[in-house]
Amino acid sequence: MAEPLPDSPRLRSRGDGTVGMVVGVVVAALMAYLFQLVGGRALGKIEFEPIAQLWTIHFLAFAIVLLPIEQLTIRRLAISPSHPLRQDLPLLAGTVGVAAVAVSVVLYAGRDQLLSGEGVHALQAGLIVLGYGVFAFGRGRLAGSMQYRNYGFATAGESTLRFIVLLAVLAAAPRSVPVGWAMVTGFLVIFAWRPFRIVRDDEPHTAPSAAKFLGSYVVANGASNIVLAAGPIVVKAMDAAPGVSSVFFFTLILMRAPLTLGYSLVARILHPMSRAVAEGHGRALHVWGRRIVVFGLIMAAAGYGVGRVLGPVAVELLFGAEFRPSSALAGLIVAGVAASMASLAATQILVARGHTGFLAVAWVVALAAAALAIVVASGDPDIRVGVGFLVGQVTALSAISVAVFSSGRPAL
C-alpha cells in the first residue's frame, strides 16, 4: 500500500474550500470558452485572428511567467506560513515588467503578420501581462494561506467579468480592438478578496533564492508552453492558408480544456506536496509519480483514437463548420494534451522539492524534440505542427519521470 501524504494539511479534506475551488475553476473555464465562442462567431475567423494571437500570448505569458510566481508564493507559505513575501516583491515585479515590455515589443514588431496591422493589440498584450501578474500573486497568497474557496471564486470572477465586458463591447463595436480591451479587464476582481492584506513580516527568515527557483521555472515553463500553446503562431508563420491558424487555435483550446482547469487546480495539490517534502514524506511522492506517468501514457494512446473520432465533431458543434479540423489534427492534439496533463501533475513533485532546474532540462529537451519533429514531418503546416506537439509532450513526460525518480535532496 502506498504511503499516504501527510495528514496536515490533508490532500483530501472536508470543509476546507476545495469544492468551492473546483466549482470556481470550472465556471472560469466555461466563461473563457463562452468568450471565445461568442467572440469567434461575432467577428468571424479572419477578424478574430488577432484575438486568437492575443489569447495565445496571454496564455503563454501566464503559463510561462505568472504561474511560476503563483506557485513560488504557494510553496513559500506552505513551508513557512510566516515567510515575509515582501522580500520577493522586487524580483517578482521586475520579472512581470520585463515580460510585459518584451511581449509588447515583439508583437508590435510583428503586427502586420500576427495582428492584422493593429498595433494597439501589442499595447493590450503588455497590459494583460501586468494585470495578471498582480492576479497571479494574489491567487498565490490565497492558496498559500489555504483559502481555497476564495481562490476559486476569484478565478471564476475574473473570467466572468471579462465575458460581461465582451458582451458590452460587441454590442457597441464588434471589432478586434474593442474585444482586445475586454481581455485586459478580468484581473481586477482579485482585489475584491483583498489577498494583499495578509502580508506577514513577523521575523527574519532564510530561504533558498527565489531568483534561482523562479529563473529555472520560467525557463521550464517557457519551453513547455511553446510546445503547448505556440502552435497557432507557428502555423501562421509557416505561411498556411488564411484561417488555418484559427482552426488550429480553436481545436487546441477546446482539446486542452482539462489542462486549462489543471493549471488552477494544481494550486490545491502543491501545498500538501510541499508540506510532504518539508516533513520527510518523499517516498509517497515517488509512488504518486509512478502512477501519474503510467496513467498519462495510457491516456495519450487512447486519446489519439478518441480525438480522431470525436474531435472534429466537437469543434464544429461549438465553434461552427468553418473551424472544423481534420481527424488527424484532432487526434494529435488530444493525445498531446493527455500527456501534458500527466506532465503537469508530475511537475508538482519537482516544484514541491524545489528542483525546477531538473524541470528546465526536461522541457528544453522536449522543445528540441518538438522542433525536430516539425522539420522532418511531412504534410500541411497544421499537421506538421500537430506532430511536433505530440512528440514534444511525450518526450517531456518521459524526461520529467526520470527527474522525479532520480532527483536527490529537496531544496527547502
Domain coordinates in residue numbering, the chain: 14-207, 213-412
C-alpha cell at 167: 458582451
Rounded to 5°, the CA angle 304-263-152 comes to 130
pLDDT digits (tens, 9 = 90+) for 38-68: 888 888 877 888 888 888 888 888 888 999 9
| Predicted confidence (pLDDT) at residue 231 exceeds the cutoff of 50 | yes
Q: Is the CB of residue 169 less than 8 Å from the CB of residue 178?
A: yes
DSSP codes, 27-72 = HHHHHHHHHHHHHHHHHHHHHTHHHHHHHHHHHHHIIIIIHHHHHH
pLDDT given at position 113: 77
Residue tagged 513533485 (cell numbers): 349
Residue in 3, 136, 27, 78 with CA at minimum distance from that of residue 278: 78
- Whole-prediction pTM value? 0.79
Rounded to an integer, what distance in angstroms lies between the CA atom of residue 396 and that of residue 394? 5
Q: Per-residue confidence at 1, pLDDT binned at 50, 70, 90?
A: very low
- Distance between start and end Cα atoms, the chain: 27
| Predicted confidence (pLDDT) at residue 15 exceeds the cutoff of 70 | no
Q: Per-residue confidence at 267, pLDDT binned at 50, 70, 90?
A: confident
Q: Is the CB of residue 287 less than 8 Å from the CB of residue 270?
A: no
Rounded to an integer, what distance in angstroms lies between the CA atom of residue 349 and that of residue 380? 38
Q: Summarize the confidence of residues 76-103 as an average pLDDT.
A: 84
Distances (CA, A) of 296 to 157, 222, 303, 397: 31, 22, 10, 8
| Predicted confidence (pLDDT) at residue 9 exceeds the cutoff of 50 | no
User: CB under 8 Å to 352, separation ≥6 — which residues?
Assistant: 75, 270, 273, 274, 276, 277, 285, 410
Between 11 and 382, whose confidence is greater?
382
Residue in 152, 146, 178 with CA at minimum distance from that of residue 165: 178
Rounded to an integer, what distance in angstroms lies between the CA atom of residue 392 and that of residue 229? 12
Rounded to 5°, the CA angle 88-344-288 comes to 105
C-alpha cell at 214: 523562479
Q: Summarize the confidence of residues 285-290 as an average pLDDT.
A: 79
Q: Summarize the confidence of residues 202-229 as an average pLDDT.
A: 76
